[in-house]
Structure 1
Amino acid sequence: MSKCWSFLFLAASWFCFKTDSVAGICSPPMYGLGCNYTCHCNTVNCHAVTGCSGGCDGGWHGSNCNKENIALKKHTSQSSYFSEWWKNSSLAVDGSLVQGSGAEYCMFTEPGHPYTWWQVDLDKEYYIHKLAVHFRKWRK
């Protein structure tokens, strides 16, 4: 009789619990303790414990693809435009660090104004841990 109960208990455990969750293995794109984190890379590069090992999705970067560019392709505006070069304020959030030979892929404000500004609408509130601003480099 005890063998029968052991078998029923084992069978019930198998039906009630996914074998992955019992073994601590996450199904992509989830990873980490309790499978509470999402991989932001190709599922081939998503490890069940450590997360991504390269090949980050667009807008994500870092060694584990765990840093998000929350400004990517969001709505932008600026105080003025350099009249000689018609530039678009959204070039600052296009995700590219390519400047071009004449900085044609950068945004410009018109010189000669004491207070110029540029802004991005992030659509919601965020707690910002790190902010990176990339300035253009002029040729000499």
Structure 2
Amino acid sequence: MAETSRQTYFLVVLSCILFVSVNGECPADKFGDECQFECHCSNGVCEQKSGHCPKGCALGWSGPSCQKQNIALKRRATQSSTFCEPTGRCFNASYSVDGSRDQWLYAGSGCSHTQSSSYNEWRVSWSEEHYITNLVIYNRKDCCQEDLNGFRVYVQQRNGTRVLCYNDPTSQPIRDVIHVRCDAPVLGTSVTITLSGGDDVNLTLCEVEVYVCAAGWYGDHCENQCTGPQCQQCDPTGTYCQDCAVGRFGKDCLGLCHCYDGVACQREGSCPGKGKKLCARGWTGSSCSTGKSLTHHLQNNPYLIFLTF
């Protein structure tokens, strides 16, 4: 302890590391080395390390660890027109996201079906943004399967821009189930399927499933973990992280943000805004990654006590 004429400085440095362990287990609805992943099991309980669900995945989830989600399920769906029979039965857009894979137009909940037109479209949307890569489309089986040839899939971004995801060739063999992979992942809030041609064209979809991986997972079946527990979403190949946890940045989210007042930093680590107060106290540089010396801290924080356990 040292004392000056105006202020007293206390500096206590303890070079100890405190390990805290409760019981080494995650809560029933979490798993992973740091309990960072959510379980998506039918009964809410999964294996602590792998996330495997002995009793199966919850509705809308699939994959080895139930980390693959169908974000189209039960979401809001619309279409350019709706075909209705004289009896009053209509084939609404919502029939394509009701969870039923029945592929007969008149059986079960049926399929969505537009009126005949030179241009038809069907859309499913959600409020949050997702990187869209994979879709599965269930075509009708009772007849007219070739009518779906030549469809297009678009992903609409939050700013309203519509990006082409997939362009189906007009000449295709009959397909009961169509697996679609976007030419490149697109961040968006809705998926639109369009079909155009002559005047006697209608768009019939029995079920549409749009798949994304839960935070921290990638792969066709969301079977692989992204590098590092701080990565919320990596690219479909797992090469780099697209979305780090709050307070992190960098390829594997290993960088720590040091922005003023706890503001989240940008992907390259820089702090948003203008002016002098961009970095947290004690940090400088273009990405606020340069720490100031201990002498500087003491001079600007006269009663500062450092405790490291």
TM-score, normalised to structure 2, is 0.36
- Count residues in correspondence: 121
Counterparts in 2 of 1:98 and 1:48: CA distance versus 1, 3 Å = same
Q: Percent identity?
A: 38
Instruction: Tell me which of 111, 121, 136 is aligned to 2:140.
Output: 136
Task: Give the AA of the match of 1:118.
Answer: W
The answer (yes or no) to whether the contact 1:90–1:107 under 8 Å persists in 2 is yes
AA aligned opposite 1:52 = H
Structure 2 residue aligned with 1:3: none
Counterpart of 1:105? 110
SS state of the match for residue 91, structure 1? helix
Letter of the structure 2 residue corresponding to residue 130 of structure 1: N
Question: Hey, what does 1:88 align to over in structure 2?
Answer: 92
SS at match of 1:115: strand
Q: CA RMSD in A?
A: 2.3
State whether residues 105 and 142 of structure 2, in contact with CA within 8 Å, keep that contact through their aligned partners in structure 1.
Answer: no
For structure 1, which runs of at least 5 residues remain unmatched after alignment?
1-11
Letter aligned with residue 76 of structure 1: A
Which protein has the bigger strand share?
Answer: 2
Runs of 4+ aligned residues of structure 1 deviating over 3 Å after TM superposition are none
Q: Which residue of structure 2 aligns with residue 48 of structure 1?
A: 48
User: Per-residue deviation at 1:101?
Assistant: 7.0
Within 5 A, what are the aligned runs for 1:1-140?
16-20=20-24, 25-41=25-41, 42-44=43-45, 46-53=46-53, 54-84=55-85, 85-100=89-104, 102-103=106-107, 105-111=110-116, 113-138=117-142
Contact kept, 8 Å, 2:51 with 2:65, in 1: the verdict is: yes
State the Cα distance separating 1:89 from its structure 2 match: 0.8
Normalising by structure 1, what TM-score? 0.74
SS in 1 for 2:137: coil
Kindly tell me: are residues 124 and 133 of structure 1, through their superposed partners in 2, closer, same or farther at Cα, counting changes over 3 Å? same
